[in-house]
Structures are given as structure tokens and as C-alpha cells.
């Protein structure tokens, strides 16, 4: 077979056209640029807008099954947390129902992140109380852990320092606590990167959409 590449290269050069080699180089650069653009778009689609930054301190508490549960069990996982207590009659019934709804909606698309609830009334909320509470709200306890087994001052410090949220005791009745209604999204490195109003349907939708992006 006759090699005509030399002939066409000379013809392109005489007529003032770019050489075949130049065209190939330009096409390669365009392809690389396109691939880089697609990669950046994909990366940005997986990013979420953070509204806080804090690191969860290491902990070892007791779960609803009366078993030890440590922060090490969450390493390498995206997880969600919130604060509650079973005697709460004001906001907890709604926030707990909402966190279970989040769990159910994520499960529909095969996402089962660990959800960790920290009781702010550890003296009353013993494991048997917590297991009944989880069942009452229909929580899937294979992926939801309710914690107790610490002093109030311990959980107050965790709330204040690791989650940058309020927690105080006291009120007209015993076992009354002022605590946040936020849900928190924690990354695999144990950093709290975003909080959501657990009473806002719009922000609960944001949580679900953010979970889809990163999990």
C-alpha cells in the first residue's frame, strides 16, 4: 500500500492549512480539556455546602442493647446525629419522628447511614427505656443507635464542644432540658460539617439530598 501521509502533509503545508500533526495535537488538547471539565463537574455535584466545622471527641457510651458503643465504630462512615430524651414532651416527639422519616427515605434508595441519638437525660434513659422508645417510633435499630451511660455534664460537654450546640438542665419539672433540635451530618473523619433544623421539612429535604450526594 502506498503511504500518502507525506503527500497530504506537504499539500496541507503548501495551501497554508494546519498540518495533520497540529490537528491531532489540538484534538488531543480538546479531549483532555473536556475530560477535566467533566471531572470537575462530577466533583462539584458531590460537594455540599457546609455551615459549621467541628470535630466529634472520642467517646464510649452504652446503647439501647446495653452494649458498649464507641466513636471508633463510626470511623470511615458518614453518619447523622441528634439530641433527645424520652421524657421530652415538646420537640422530641417531632424530631424523633422526623429522624426516623429520614432513615426510611434514605433506606428506600439503599442508603443506611448510622444514625446516633444522644440522650440528654442519661439518669432516666436507661437501655430498656431506649429500646422501647426506638420501637415506639418504628426506628430501624440495625442502623440507629440511642446512647446513654454517662453523666449529664459529659453529654453537655460533647454537645457544647463537639456539636457547638446548647444543652442545659432545669425547668419547672424534673427531667427538663433545653437542647437543640438540630440534626448533624458528620463525615468519615469525624468532622461535623453541617447542621439542619430537625423541625423544618425544607431542611430535612436538604439533609436527604446531601446524604445522596456524599454516601
pTM, entire model? 0.78
Q: Do 39 and 79 have their domain in common?
A: no
* Mean of pLDDT values over 12-33: 57
Q: Do 205 and 118 have their domain in common?
A: yes
Confidence tier at 37 by pLDDT (50, 70, 90):
very low
What is the domain extent for residue 37? 5-45
pLDDT of residue 9: 47
- Does residue 194 surpass a pLDDT of 60? yes
Quote the CA–CA distance of 10 and 46 in Å, as a whole number. 49
pLDDT digits (tens, 9 = 90+) for 110-130: 999 999 999 999 999 999 999
Q: Do 192 and 91 have their domain in common?
A: yes
Q: Do 135 and 159 have their domain in common?
A: yes
Q: 195 is written with which cell numbers?
A: 447542621
End-to-end CA distance of the chain: 56
Confidence tier at 174 by pLDDT (50, 70, 90):
low
Question: What share of the chain in percent tops pLDDT 70?
Answer: 76
Q: Are 171 and 121 in contact (CB under 8 A)?
A: no
Q: Are 205 and 195 in contact (CB under 8 A)?
A: no
pLDDT digits (tens, 9 = 90+) for 81-94: 999 999 999 999 99
Confidence tier at 35 by pLDDT (50, 70, 90):
low
Q: Do 77 and 158 have their domain in common?
A: yes
Q: Do 114 and 177 have their domain in common?
A: yes
Q: Domain of 165: which CATH number?
A: 3.40.30.10
Confidence tier at 44 by pLDDT (50, 70, 90):
very low
Dihedral angle at the C-alpha atoms of 12, 18, 19, 20, nearest 10 degrees? -100
Phi, psi of 123 (to 5 degrees): -65, -40
Q: Do 61 and 150 have their domain in common?
A: yes
Q: Do 36 and 105 have their domain in common?
A: no
Q: Do 99 and 20 have their domain in common?
A: no
Write the CB contacts of 5 (distance below 8 Å, at least 6 apart in sequence): 20
- Does residue 17 surpass a pLDDT of 60? no
Q: Do 106 and 73 have their domain in common?
A: yes
Q: Do 81 and 175 have their domain in common?
A: yes
* Mean of pLDDT values over 49-73: 97
The number of distinct structural domains making up the chain is 2
Q: Do 40 and 124 have their domain in common?
A: no
Amino acid at each position: 500500500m502506498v503511504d500518502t501521509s507525506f503527500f497530504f502533509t506537504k499539500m496541507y503545508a503548501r495551501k497554508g492549512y494546519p498540518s495533520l500533526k497540529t490537528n491531532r495535537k489540538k484534538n488531543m488538547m480538546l479531549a483532555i480539556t473536556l475530560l477535566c471539565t467533566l471531572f470537575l463537574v462530577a466533583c462539584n455535584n458531590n460537594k455540599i455546602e457546609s455551615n459549621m466545622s467541628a470535630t466529634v471527641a472520642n467517646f464510649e457510651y452504652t446503647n439501647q442493647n446495653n452494649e458498649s458503643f464507641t466513636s471508633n465504630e463510626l470511623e470511615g462512615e458518614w453518619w447523622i446525629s441528634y439530641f433527645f430524651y424520652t421524657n421530652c414532651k415538646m420537640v422530641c416527639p417531632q424530631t424523633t419522628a422526623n429522624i426516623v422519616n429520614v432513615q426510611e427515605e434514605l433506606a428506600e434508595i439503599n442508603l443506611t447511614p448510622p444514625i446516633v441519638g444522644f440522650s440528654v437525660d442519661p439518669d432516666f434513659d436507661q437501655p430498656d427505656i431506649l429500646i422501647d422508645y426506638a420501637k415506639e417510633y418504628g426506628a430501624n435499630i440495625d442502623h440507629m443507635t440511642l446512647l446513654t451511660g454517662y453523666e449529664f455534664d459529659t453529654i453537655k460537654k460533647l454537645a457544647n464542644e463537639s456539636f457547638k450546640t446548647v444543652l442545659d438542665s432545669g425547668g419547672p419539672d424534673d427531667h427538663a432540658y433545653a437542647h437543640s433540635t438540630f440534626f448533624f451530618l458528620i463525615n468519615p473523619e469525624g468532622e461535623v460539617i453541617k447542621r439542619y433544623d430537625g423541625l423544618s421539612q425544607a431542611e430535612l429535604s436538604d439533609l436527604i439530598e446531601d446524604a445522596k450526594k456524599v454516601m
